Amino acid sequence: MAIIIRWISAIMAVLMGLPTLLGAVFQSLTKLGYDERPVTAISENFLEGNAEFIDEAKAEYWSAGYARRVLTPEDIEETRYFLGGFLKFPAQEATGVVDDLCVRAVVLDDNSGRGATAFAWIDGVGFMNADIKDIREKLSDITGDGKLISIDVGSTHNHSAIDTQGLWGNIPKSGRNQKYIDSVVQKTADAIREAYNNRSEGTLYYSSKECPELFYDGRAPYSIDDKIHLFRFVPNADGKKEIYIANFGAHPINLGWSNTEISGDYPYYLEKEVTTEKNVDFIFVQGAIGGAIHADMGVENGIPEDLTSFEKMKEYSSIVADVLYDLAEKGEAVEPILNVRHAQLDFEVNNFIFLLVASADLCNVTPFKENGKVYFSSEIGYVEIGKDIKILEAPGEALPELIYDGFYSADEAFNGTEYPYEGIATCFDEDDEVLVFGLCNDAVGYIVPDNDYSSSGKEGHYEETVSTGSKSGTAFSKAFFELLKVWG
């Protein structure tokens, strides 16, 4: 009976939304009805970051604070929520809760007097830039020189979480529940504020380890960051917990297509393992996952083949936790230098699916027209921690070759051309550690190199269906090279 009700509900949603859908299709095809580029060059609640970078530490210690909020709605039994991440018809409604969705926030300050930076990661498939600006608005009283100079919010890209984008409802009806979005915005702002107020002095350590066996790259050419990165903050004061900041790239999709229950996936169980074993605070920051990079749960990692997907995911979390324990013992102290800078960029939207999404108002995006083309604005970020750690903040799922190089040649690429840029990491010294904070400050889908972009549906080109279009790669590369020319 439940599935029959779902089908009837989905069909009714489509029929009732048919005028909206037809209007959106017409607008997408003709590019009529879009406003011209907004007059304001720098949008409201865009935080540029530090006015100047420093090369030498101004203080002996770092300061850091942490906070966490549960996002799972209390009315899950009475209210309709859609799971985000798998395209289904009828759309997948949440039928229960396995474990909690959360937001975790950490605030870092190099005590140079220039201001602190907040990092918060939400359990969700993606969080839109306009919603993140609402979070910043709620914190506007503690932003600016000497306060919070940067607020960076990302998502874990969890496919078993409530739809926080809007793409996963019964189209043309959005999957966004605005009451839930408002709750996530408020709780994220509250967590950042608490972390800011909880700062205490201490030492920050960093370490990384190559773990190629733990990751699977689903798209050629195979370029990947196979490292697990760990920042470990050790406070000076007794009674204050250490903070673990873990960063690596792997899709949290391990409960699979058929799952109907809300879960935090492996980030939740990784947190549970680490906090139980070490009595620390923990935040997972998603990495560069654009090549459909997954957590590898094969038998070569000691995970029995006959386990369920859920059991394999928990085993994987335990394996990664053991890596983090090892890294925690090997970390080297990082000088208190924190430099942050952001830039806005425009993505041309020429993928019909994305044009339809924008026209039907499924997501919280505001496209605009310029010279007969449709764009929307997003942002990127560049962070330096210490002297040798460089972090690129990507507003979506960047294919790793955009960062680490290894592009297809003209002979290999779908479009028979060379990619016009090198990997962004080539800007840095050989000894630098280059990390990616993925789905940070926006969720624009896959960012694909132009020379291997195909909208034909050809095998091996799934990512293009969830991309702004054929110019996403060069827009991304160009913006970063221009940002790094000044600040890198």
Looking at residue 27, its pLDDT comes to 59
Q: Give the contacts of 175 (CB within 8 A, at least 6 positions apart).
A: 82, 84, 91, 163, 165, 166, 167, 168, 169, 362
Q: Specify the residue for token string 């339809």.
A: 356
Residue 263's pLDDT is 95
pTM for the whole structure: 0.94
Q: How high is the pLDDT of residue 40?
A: 63
pLDDT of residue 14: 46
Rounded Cα distance between 470 and 421, Å, is 15
Sign of CA dihedral 116, 117, 121, 125: positive
Q: What is the pLDDT of residue 81?
A: 94
How many of the other CB atoms lie within 10 Å of CB of 63? 22
**What is the helix (H) or strand (E) element at residue 151, kind and residue range?**
strand 148-155
Enumerate residue ranges in the chain where pLDDT < 50.
Answer: 1, 10, 13-15, 17, 21
Contact 249, 287 (CB under 8 A): yes
Domain count, the chain: 1
CA-CA-CA-CA torsion for 342, 348, 352, 357, nearest 10 degrees? 40
> Distance (Å, rounded) from C-alpha 85 to C-alpha 257?
9
Q: Which domain holds residue 171?
A: 1-488
